[in-house]
Chain A
């Protein structure tokens, strides 16, 4: 289905990605694959306590060991108040530095407190054992309820609640931020409702689960120039964070991104890089640091566990009249949960005249959360979409009809503020309603129950800043260079854009991700922004090259440039210059050095806005009522992506996001004991979906063009993780008649609820 009117020649095709060959043959280099001559191996010492004051650290025994070349602690990372602006948000470099190596307190189990560099990994880990850290253990604060208790221990002395704290809020607090969105008259709204449903939901802390652990190599040169090889979603942000944390000029740091083995938001912050730089500086040798899988679980950034209360009022005819919601998100050890984004997304799909949504960002003794695909939105959608499902049942309405009836449309003011431009929610819902999946009968296997659920999801998408260059070779091939690590096929999409603009076949366009010294600034690969914003820079760079090619044609033809047009990759003569045969890019390129020299098209974009997007998922779930084991047996993802540049990778994002959401719904969770020790820091006990857990995942791409992008692109990566939590839970309700308000729907929880239901 497409409302885009532009026709394309290359965009929308499915060529083989340029970086694919290296990946299927094992040649591609990821973070841990780099080695330098003389390189040392680092090891990070981590706190065994969830909450403790660091009394002293004695590194002398470690330093005296043969083969140990450097030891660092928090005292090697300056304390700072610096912030790094990233779009609307700002990264707190002080917290990031303290997270990389604790200064005064260990704030979660696994918090880095020291690090060593030695000539072998074995010596490094033995030296780490020899470091004596004296802790004064404190009571850990493990969840929202404990953090908000009147007698709660305070994680950070001096924390004040930013945003809009309640007037009666305590002054000593673990609440870093409170925000609210409000419209209309809540009491009047609810008074006019025929049905009001109010429930409180919880979701566990979960991890992005990228397969590649964090890894980097850092070299400190005698001249103070630093080089870092690392696996990251944004090497410019790594550069700027390390510069800010360590107090060195950004221009002194060059960051070379490796291929990245998954990130989903989790590879935006720096953990190892400042430590590796500090070690390399002391040791005068390059240092490699690699996290173990356990380190990744304990000490990189998962996403928030949440507690969310939702109340929704509707009239008999189905129209929503009022909503209120309170969202409490665990930030982990430092401020910065996505509670605010969760609040902004919570009811974004619906036109509700009266509402109050409030959100709390709460610090607890868990790892500092990082972004995870549409950060904040999935938990909020789980709560709201479960309640919407319940309203539909109460009113005897089809759940898709009810959503359509209340769906926002172009011109509506979003609950989070701005007026929606063209959006595809209705198209998405209508496509879901027409899909064979929605109409197919449910056929339970013997001994099982089966149910169907549907849910919507919303994400803003991001724009931000990007740079790109397109350079032409004399044989008519081209390079396109950007600075965004390619996490899922963005290079081939960028090459397609150059093909579209210049008419060069995609296999003759080489897309490259360059290091921080070799291309202008690019914000992170995140916010579903690469195909959109960096794509925009690529298109503009290609158009810049195209304008230069037209000027060359004008020179060859000896006509004014106004008389040269561009069509299907060729310069064509316009009126006044007619009679001249069109010149292809190859023909023009062959003459480059005689018509004025090399051609490089370049562009930078600053895209404050993006194209918001919606999706709807349909889930069929089969439940074994004797064991509580459930299984997704059919799944369909419908999403408005604006324009699919390479449809295979668009589908891949939709399928991958859905399966992460299914894992979140059914099995994944951080399990802590009362002392704050993580019980399942490995893939055996942190149960992510495997191939035999899932069916094929059907995709329906909707294309409601985003007017902000030359091809209509919105971005795709994040929306698909928003609906699954609720889609699965709604299917579970359909199968069992039990409304689950806590995730995951793991067999013991399901079994217990079924027993209670009787």
Chain B
């Protein structure tokens, strides 16, 4: 039995067929070619698959593809606006907040979700918000700085 899903992904209407047990992560990557969302564990423990579902941060590996019917999904591919990067993306580049970069899509989406509802987080708030995203390369220092700087940028202040 296949399921017919009608949804909105990165502000575009999308339709696809999937298996009932298929995760959103599998559907994004294999059916829709949106491979920016990464799989690090498939058990909800690494955050590499972070996406926004109706604006809420979720691991796509723990959401069924069929569940997104009639809802809005934002993946890393939809974070920038045309040629303009989101401040989080820009600050990740400026602060060298990525090394191998495989965790970066998840961090970008998670950090955007934080700044969407809190544009002036403390370092501690950033660290706890991002505690669901594993990065093995950076030690998080530059990631936290990039997110704090992006927040300042969004508030229109320079640090």
| Residues of A that sit less than 8 Å from B by CB | 14, 16-17, 19-21, 23-30, 32-33, 35, 122, 208-213, 259-264, 292-293, 487-489, 646, 648-649, 651-653, 655-660, 682-684, 688-694, 696-697
Q: Min CB distance, B121 to chain A, in Å?
A: 12
24-49 of chain B: CB within 8 A of chain A: 29-30, 34-43, 45-46, 48
Q: Min CB distance, A525 to chain B, in Å?
A: 11
* CB <8 Å contact, A261 and B100: yes
Of the residues B40, B41, B99, B124, contact of A652 by C-beta under 8 Å:
B99
CA distance A14 to B95 in the complex (A): 9
* CB <8 Å contact, A209 and B136: yes
Q: Min CB distance, A25 to chain B, in Å?
A: 6
* CB <8 Å contact, B93 and A20: yes
In the complex, the chain B residue whose C-beta lies closest to that of A653 is B99
Some 28 contacts from A to B, beta carbons below 8 A apart, are A16-B93, A17-B93, A20-B92, A23-B98, A23-B104, A24-B85, A25-B77, A25-B85, A26-B75, A28-B101, A210-B102, A211-B48, A211-B100, A262-B136, A262-B137, A263-B100, A293-B42, A489-B96, A649-B96, A652-B96, A656-B99, A656-B137, A656-B138, A659-B140, A683-B41, A691-B143, A691-B144, A692-B127
| Residues of B that sit less than 8 Å from A by CB | 19, 29-30, 34-43, 45-46, 48, 75-77, 79-80, 85, 89, 92-96, 98-105, 108, 123-124, 126-128, 130-145
Known: A292-B42, A683-B41, A683-B46. A211 touches B130 (CB 8 A): no
Q: Min CB distance, A296 to chain B, in Å?
A: 9
In the complex, which residues of chain A have a beta carbon less than 8 angstroms from the beta carbon of B29? 32-33
* CB <8 Å contact, A696 and B141: yes
In the complex, the chain B residue whose C-beta lies closest to that of A41 is B30
In the complex, the chain B residue whose C-beta lies closest to that of A215 is B39
Known: A23-B98, A23-B101. A488 touches B42 (CB 8 A): no
* CB <8 Å contact, A32 and B131: no
CA distance A261 to B137 in the complex (A): 9
Of the residues B46, B75, B139, B141, contact of A211 by C-beta under 8 Å:
B46
Q: Min CB distance, A235 to chain B, in Å?
A: 16
Provide the main secondary structure of the chain A interface.
Answer: loop
* CB <8 Å contact, A29 and B96: no
Q: Min CB distance, A586 to chain B, in Å?
A: 26
CA distance A194 to B83 in the complex (A): 70
Of the residues A209, A212, A655, contact of B38 by C-beta under 8 Å:
A212
CA distance A551 to B128 in the complex (A): 59
* CB <8 Å contact, B128 and A210: no
* CB <8 Å contact, B136 and A488: no
CA distance A213 to B42 in the complex (A): 11
Q: Min CB distance, A294 to chain B, in Å?
A: 9
* CB <8 Å contact, B43 and A696: no
In the complex, which residues of chain B have a beta carbon less than 8 angstroms from the beta carbon of A659? 138-140
Known: A24-B98, A293-B40, A293-B41. A210 touches B131 (CB 8 A): no
In the complex, which residues of chain B have a beta carbon less than 8 angstroms from the beta carbon of A264? 136
Assuming A24-B92, A25-B80, what are 8 further A-B pairs, CB within 8 angstroms? A17-B93, A25-B85, A26-B75, A259-B102, A260-B100, A688-B136, A691-B126, A696-B145
In the complex, which residues of chain A have a beta carbon less than 8 angstroms from the beta carbon of B85? 21, 24-25
In the complex, which residues of chain B have a beta carbon less than 8 angstroms from the beta carbon of A694? 127, 139-141
In the complex, the chain B residue whose C-beta lies closest to that of A21 is B93
Of the residues A646, A657, A690, A697, contact of B131 by C-beta under 8 Å:
A690
In the complex, the chain A residue whose C-beta lies closest to that of B105 is A26
* CB <8 Å contact, A684 and B45: yes
In the complex, the chain B residue whose C-beta lies closest to that of A663 is B136
Known: A24-B89, A25-B76. A683 touches B45 (CB 8 A): yes
In the complex, which residues of chain B have a beta carbon less than 8 angstroms from the beta carbon of A646? 96
Q: Min CB distance, B40 to chain A, in Å?
A: 4
Provide the main secondary structure of the chain B interface.
Answer: loop
Q: Considering residues B98, B101, B105, B127, which has the most beta carbons from chain A within 10 angstroms of its beta carbon?
A: B101
Q: Considering residues B40, B43, B76, B100, which has the most beta carbons from chain A within 10 angstroms of its beta carbon?
A: B100
Q: Min CB distance, A123 to chain B, in Å?
A: 12
CA distance A29 to B39 in the complex (A): 13
Of the residues B35, B40, B45, B92, contact of A212 by C-beta under 8 Å:
B40
CA distance A660 to B92 in the complex (A): 21
* CB <8 Å contact, A213 and B46: no
CA distance A212 to B42 in the complex (A): 11
Of the residues A20, A211, A683, contact of B102 by C-beta under 8 Å:
A211
In the complex, which residues of chain A have a beta carbon less than 8 angstroms from the beta carbon of B145? 696
Known: A660-B136, A690-B134. A261 touches B102 (CB 8 A): yes
Q: Min CB distance, B63 to chain A, in Å?
A: 18
Q: Which 6 A-B pairs have the closest CB atoms?
A: A26-B36, A261-B102, A23-B101, A659-B139, A648-B96, A655-B139
Q: Min CB distance, B113 to chain A, in Å?
A: 15
Of the residues B30, B99, B102, B140, contact of A30 by C-beta under 8 Å:
B102
In the complex, which residues of chain B have a beta carbon less than 8 angstroms from the beta carbon of A292? 42
* CB <8 Å contact, A488 and B134: no
* CB <8 Å contact, A692 and B131: yes
Known: A24-B85, A24-B92, A26-B36. A212 touches B100 (CB 8 A): yes
* CB <8 Å contact, B127 and A293: no
* CB <8 Å contact, B45 and A682: yes
In the complex, which residues of chain A have a beta carbon less than 8 angstroms from the beta carbon of B34? 26
Q: Min CB distance, A661 to chain B, in Å?
A: 10
CA distance A584 to B54 in the complex (A): 54
In the complex, the chain B residue whose C-beta lies closest to that of A31 is B102
In the complex, the chain B residue whose C-beta lies closest to that of A488 is B99
* CB <8 Å contact, A655 and B138: yes
Q: Min CB distance, A493 to chain B, in Å?
A: 11
Known: A682-B41, A682-B43, A697-B139. A691 touches B130 (CB 8 A): yes
In the complex, which residues of chain A have a beta carbon less than 8 angstroms from the beta carbon of B126? 691
Q: Min CB distance, A466 to chain B, in Å?
A: 20
Q: Min CB distance, B89 to chain A, in Å?
A: 4
In the complex, which residues of chain B have a beta carbon less than 8 angstroms from the beta carbon of A487? 99-100
In the complex, which residues of chain B have a beta carbon less than 8 angstroms from the beta carbon of A682? 41, 43, 45
In the complex, which residues of chain B have a beta carbon less than 8 angstroms from the beta carbon of A691? 126-128, 130-131, 133, 135, 140, 143-144
In the complex, the chain A residue whose C-beta lies closest to that of B109 is A26
CA distance A689 to B137 in the complex (A): 11
In the complex, the chain B residue whose C-beta lies closest to that of A685 is B45
In the complex, the chain B residue whose C-beta lies closest to that of A661 is B139
Q: Min CB distance, A20 to chain B, in Å?
A: 5
In the complex, which residues of chain B have a beta carbon less than 8 angstroms from the beta carbon of A697? 139, 141
Of the residues A211, A660, A692, contact of B103 by C-beta under 8 Å:
A211
* CB <8 Å contact, A211 and B98: no
In the complex, which residues of chain A have a beta carbon less than 8 angstroms from the beta carbon of B43? 293, 682-684
